[in-house]
Amino acid sequence: MQRVLSRVLLRQTSRPVMDGGAETHSEGRRKLVVGLGNPGLDGTRHSVGMAVLAALAARLGLAERWRGDKHVSGEVIVSEHVQRVHVVLLRPRLLMNINGVSVAKAAGKYGVKPEDVLLVHDDLDKPLGKVAIKHGGSARGHNGVRSCIDCLQTDMMPRLRVGIGRPTGKTSVERYVLSRFSSEEQKVLSSVLAQSVDLLLSQLSLDSQPSPRPAEGRRAAQKGKEREPPDSAAAQS
């Protein structure tokens, strides 16, 4: 049902984006960095990707440049040069399960190839304090990533996976991810956000080099390689 809804929404809205009054951008190579999450649920574990993007914008001195863009169903910042790359930051304003609609529309508007879309999202399988770059592959049960794969029709997008850990006791996963970080976790979160921004900037610097051929994307993704930073001040929960 999620896949059908995403594709219906994308089909209904894609024509105005491409043919309407929206400005399109296709000069030079662009990167699209996306913070996955739920609108109105800032500060929750499931929306930590949006918190990372806010931290990235602040680090770049662009925090005041967020603007709503109805053509992509999200908020964007367009920056001319970050690590010698043209970068668009995106915070979808759709529910997590259909974030991919916003991502696909933004990729179309700004002329960004799927391999140049970098997704930032929460990861239950990593403890808080652990972050890693994953180069393509399956969604691993993450509905926001699955929506992006469905709408972009490829799984080759790199991701920054931000660990949030798993719930303990009888707390359900759904309740856990939609809850805010505990007071103890808040003490770690600032270091996690800083570490995540460092990794994003490092990835953008690497990505200023020529990207692999699209035909090689799935083969590379199937290897499931991840790049984690060395141990740092960010603690584990």
* Residue 25 appears among annotated catalytic residues: no
- Of the candidates 105, 117, 110, which has an alpha carbon nearest to the alpha carbon of residue 204? 117
Q: List the catalytic residue out of 46, 71, 121, 135.
A: 46
Q: Which helix (H) or strand (E) holds 88?
A: strand 85-92
Structure tokens at 73: 């169903």
Under 8 Å between Cβ of 147 and 101: yes
CA atoms of 154 and 152, how far apart (whole Å):
6
CA atoms of 186 and 192, how far apart (whole Å):
10
Widest CA span of the chain, in angstroms?
A: 52
CA atoms of 225 and 137, how far apart (whole Å):
9
Rg, Å, the chain Cα set: 17
Residues annotated as catalytic are 46
